[in-house]
Amino acid sequence: MKKISAILAVGAAAISVPAFAQDATPAQNFQGLRVEGLVGYDHNRSGSSVDIDNTRNIKQSIDGVVYGIGAGYDVAAGSNFTLGAEAEVTDSSAKWDNNNGVPNTFNLGRVKAGRDLYFGARAGYAVSPSTLVYLKGGYTNARYNLEGTDGSTNLRQRLDTDGWRVGAGVEQKVGTNAYVKAEYRYSNYSKGEFDFNGDTPDSSRFNIDTDRHQVMVGAGVRF
Distance CA 122, CA 129 (A): 18
Pick the CATH number of 26-222 from 3.30.420.10, 1.10.287.130, 3.40.1280.10, 2.40.160.20: 2.40.160.20
Concatenated DSSP letters for 129-171? TTEEEEEEEEEEEEEEEEEEESSS-EEEEEEEEEEEEEEEEEE
Nearest residue to 173 via CA among 19, 28, 15 = 28
- The predicted structure's pLDDT at residue 76: 96
Q: What is the pLDDT of residues 35-80, one digit of tens each?
A: 999 999 999 987 655 545 554 455 578 899 999 999 999 999 999 9
Q: Is there a contact between 88 and 121 (Cβ–Cβ < 8 Å)? A: no
Give the residue, 11 or 124, on which the prediction is more confident: 124
Q: What is the pLDDT of residues 141-175, one digit of tens each?
A: 999 987 765 555 556 678 899 999 999 999 999 99
Q: What is the pLDDT of residues 122-141, one digit of tens each?
A: 999 999 999 999 999 999 99
Domain boundaries, the chain: 26-222
In this predicted structure, the answer to whether residue 4 has a pLDDT above a threshold of 50 is: no
- Who contacts 165 (Cβ-Cβ below 8 Å, separation ≥6)? 118, 120, 136, 137, 138, 139, 140, 185, 186, 187, 188
In this predicted structure, the answer to whether residue 10 has a pLDDT above a threshold of 70 is: no
In this predicted structure, the answer to whether residue 184 has a pLDDT above a threshold of 70 is: yes
For residue 104, the number of C-alpha atoms closer than 13 Å in the C-beta half-sphere is: 21
